Structure 1
Amino acid sequence: MSNALFLHAAHDARVAPFNLREGRPGETLLDVASVGLCGSDLHYYKDGGIGSATIKAPFVPGHEFGGWLTEDIGELGLRRGALVAVDPNKACGHCAYCHAGHANLCPNVEFIGAPPFDGAMTQRIWVPRSQIVALPEGFTPLDAVMLEPLGVAIHAVDLAKPRLLERVALLGCGPIGLLILQVLKAAGAGEVLAVDPLEHRRAMAQRLGADRAGTSLADIQAWTEGEGASLVIEATNSPLGFRDAILSARIGGRVVLVGIPDGDTYTLPAADARRRALKIKFSRRMGEVYPRAIALVAAGKVDVASLVTHRVGLEEAAEAFRRHAADTPGVIKTLIYPNGVDAAAA
């Protein structure tokens, strides 16, 4: 019997014994090394769900994770004890979206850590071998965890198609926003104007390469003398994020929406979007980006470690959810180590 962090309903997170299910054909068992507390996990905690994915029974969250193999996997050339990452998105492989190369849009997906599918905030988990991602020598549990959110950032920048030295407005400097910032710089973007209401996030954005960091839409408008930016990427949890992205964009500009708003509702001025003739894209999960994510971390072009401000054991996980929900100063990213922080460092 192992333990796990369960979400029972909004603002109801508890650690309790977890009955590990039996493995299925094509699966392998991992000892969880570390798991990230993601913004979507936080939405389940704060709102009780995201759209139609609601908590109907207690479930275990956690889709950003890495673990140690409990057996050899010959077809992947991996030995027992190897540290691996996991792509949480198990698409059906048969629908029109999968056949078109858009597995991230599969409507039949079984997504690890989204209800009703239990995730990795537990000590052991069964995962499909097809979703295991081999890691280079020297990668740590932290690196393994951060590949998934970095993949989300890469996918968002792929959709944005930043032009060489183009000025970009970035709304939101949480973990995803800070990863997008670094990927933008690696992709050759020019001046990045970042805004976030939290001072410690603004400071981190400047440390990681933002050219300017302000508190709100008003700063973007002032810096661009009212014209707006040709490319805006929104990565907030605010119901006003869509509105602010529109008002940050110049006429004929492009907007990519990455964030999930609290309450699952946007508020926006339709006339401003229409009169600007904006090109708007919504970003969902990621495509086949793990090789690039690994390469960016291995080459030191993206600093994932600086984003991790807190590391806790499973017994502190519920408190970690409360800290994030309260926007506690100094908190950017928390990693949970279900088998102990010391075990993960060994």
Structure 2
Amino acid sequence: MNQKLICKACFAHGKQDIRIDDRELTYTDDDVVIKIEAGGICGSDIHYYQEGHAGLSVIKHPMVIGHEFVGRVDKIPKNSKLKIGQKVAINPSRPCNQCQYCLEGKQNQCTNMRFMGSAQFNPHVHGGFSQYAIVSEQQCFPYDETVPAQVMAFAEPTTVAIHAVNIAGSLVGKKVLVIGAGPIGCLIIAAAKAAGAVEVIASDINERSQKISLAMGADHVVSPLNQEALATFTHNKGYFDVTFEACGAAAAIESTVHVTRANGTIVQVGMGASPVQYPVAQMLAKEISWKGSFRFINEFGIAVKWLEKGIIDPRPLISSEFPYQQIEQALITATDKNISSKVIVTFFD
């Protein structure tokens, strides 16, 4: 039997048009109702607000934004393993589990993916910046009551970072470069250290991001504008065993080949410039593996545990916090990278 509830939610209507509107949610006895506590603003949320689209995903009708969110269980199906009031992180990924890629265990390549807070399909898939959300039990990952919601709001981006590390392969004893010290880059830094990297160096133009990268575990930081410092990493066919490119700038993507040692690995995480000029001859001569890393597969539970146990501490990335009623100011603040890393939106009563 279908049931309904009315709540407030953050709807993107188009370019620079974000509104707090009533949202009518319909759920069945098989659904889980979550009372949202907190969420993190992602780059895609900023793009939807600033431009009315994120890449090729264009807002065609009002859509609830947000895919990094956590809350408490409010209603559960009969015989559920969840408990009312339990704190849960929500996996926003909704693969079909029926297509060829899903059946091969590659759910991030699902051809029918309905990712929460995405305008890729029409009708769009609403996100979690809402007082309540309807999810499946499989999307819910319980976590310890003592962990702040603001910390667990990093579950989804931490999952992206862990997936990138898994794509790279074993990092035990490896020398690692992370280009781009934004939230994803910094979480990759922390994940790489947790995975056994012996040295992790961060590269970013922004001084604020450089300082945060050190707080997140980088052994050293270098500016890509410092050509003399970068030149030391190109000697003898490169210095780094593994390079994670997490900013997407064309020059950064090109530079990865020069600083990665022969037979090393480059993991492309940043989704920026396309197409780019790429030094293919040098890449193949050094027999470098260039791998893409997109979203995640089955790493969400790992991310929740790492955050729960403090293996990764994302708190240096939290730059400000806004109640959902101030969502537009939160998005404007998140856009300014001189003052913001990760902006948290709260839904506490």
Q: What is the match of residue 320 of structure 1?
A: 330
1:85 aligns with 2:93: no
Q: What is the match of residue 302 of structure 1?
A: 312
Classify 1:149/1:219 alpha carbon distance in 2 versus 1 (closer, same or farther; 3 Å).
Answer: farther
- Asked if the contact 2:182/2:209 (under 8 Å) is kept, the reply is yes
Q: Quick one: distance in 2 between partners of 1:272 and 1:100?
A: 33
Q: Quick one: distance in 2 between partners of 1:49 and 1:111?
A: 15
With 157-166 and 101-110 compared, the bigger mean Cα shift is at 157-166
Question: Where in structure 2 are the equivalents of 1:255-274 lying within 5 Å?
Answer: 255-261=266-272, 265-274=275-284
Classify 1:24/1:239 alpha carbon distance in 2 versus 1 (closer, same or farther; 3 Å).
Answer: farther
1:234 aligns with 2:238: no
Q: What is the match of residue 155 of structure 1?
A: 163
Q: Quick one: distance in 2 between partners of 1:269 and 1:309?
A: 37
| 1:125 shift after superposition | 1.4
1:33 aligns with 2:42: no
| 1:239 shift after superposition | 4.0
1:124 aligns with 2:129: no
Identity %: 27
Q: What is the match of residue 342 of structure 2?
A: 333
Q: Quick one: distance in 1 between partners of 2:295 and 2:151?
A: 18
With 126-135 and 222-231 compared, the bigger mean Cα shift is at 222-231
Q: Deviations over 1:173-208 (max 9, x none)?
A: 111111111111111101111111111111111122
Q: Quick one: distance in 2 between partners of 1:222 and 1:128?
A: 51
Query: RMSD of the TM alignment (CA)?
Result: 2.2
Classify 1:278/1:220 alpha carbon distance in 2 versus 1 (closer, same or farther; 3 Å).
Answer: farther
* Aligned residue type for 1:229: F
- Asked if the contact 1:221/1:228 (under 8 Å) is kept, the reply is no
Classify 1:278/1:323 alpha carbon distance in 2 versus 1 (closer, same or farther; 3 Å).
Answer: same
- Asked if the contact 1:193/1:220 (under 8 Å) is kept, the reply is no
| 1:23 shift after superposition | 1.7
Classify 1:47/1:39 alpha carbon distance in 2 versus 1 (closer, same or farther; 3 Å).
Answer: same
1:248 aligns with 2:256: no
1:280 aligns with 2:280: no
With 292-301 and 165-174 compared, the bigger mean Cα shift is at 292-301
Of 5, 8, 11, 1:3 maps to 8
Q: What is the match of residue 176 of structure 2?
A: 168
Classify 1:180/1:76 alpha carbon distance in 2 versus 1 (closer, same or farther; 3 Å).
Answer: farther
| 1:225 shift after superposition | 4.9
How many positions carry a matched residue from both structures?
A: 337
| 1:163 shift after superposition | 3.4
| 1:111 shift after superposition | 0.8
Q: Quick one: distance in 1 between partners of 2:298 and 2:326?
A: 33
Q: Quick one: distance in 2 between partners of 1:247 and 1:7?
A: 41
- Asked if the contact 1:240/1:268 (under 8 Å) is kept, the reply is no
Of 177, 185, 204, 2:212 maps to 204
- Asked if the contact 1:15/1:314 (under 8 Å) is kept, the reply is no
Q: Quick one: distance in 1 between partners of 2:143 and 2:190?
A: 21
- Asked if the contact 1:169/1:220 (under 8 Å) is kept, the reply is no
- Asked if the contact 1:241/1:266 (under 8 Å) is kept, the reply is no
Q: Quick one: distance in 2 between partners of 1:133 and 1:250?
A: 39
Q: What is the match of residue 59 of structure 1?
A: 63
Q: Deviations over 1:99-133 (max 9, x none)?
A: 11111111101111111111111211111222111
Q: Quick one: distance in 1 between partners of 2:289 and 2:186?
A: 23
Structure 1 unmatched runs, 5+: none
| 1:164 shift after superposition | 2.1
Structure 2 unmatched runs, 5+: 1-5
Classify 1:28/1:269 alpha carbon distance in 2 versus 1 (closer, same or farther; 3 Å).
Answer: same
- Asked if the contact 1:3/1:15 (under 8 Å) is kept, the reply is no
- Asked if the contact 1:49/1:55 (under 8 Å) is kept, the reply is yes
| 1:50 shift after superposition | 3.7
Classify 1:137/1:314 alpha carbon distance in 2 versus 1 (closer, same or farther; 3 Å).
Answer: closer
Q: Quick one: distance in 2 between partners of 1:108 and 1:253?
A: 34
Classify 1:303/1:92 alpha carbon distance in 2 versus 1 (closer, same or farther; 3 Å).
Answer: same
With 281-290 and 133-142 compared, the bigger mean Cα shift is at 133-142
Aligned residue for 1:21, secondary structure, equals: strand
Q: Quick one: distance in 2 between partners of 1:31 and 1:183?
A: 29
Aligned residue for 1:155, secondary structure, equals: helix
Classify 1:104/1:225 alpha carbon distance in 2 versus 1 (closer, same or farther; 3 Å).
Answer: closer
Aligned residue for 1:70, secondary structure, equals: strand
After superposing on structure 2, the runs of 4+ consecutive aligned residues of structure 1 that deviate more than 6 Å are: none
1:183 aligns with 2:191: yes
Q: Quick one: distance in 1 between partners of 2:60 and 2:282?
A: 39
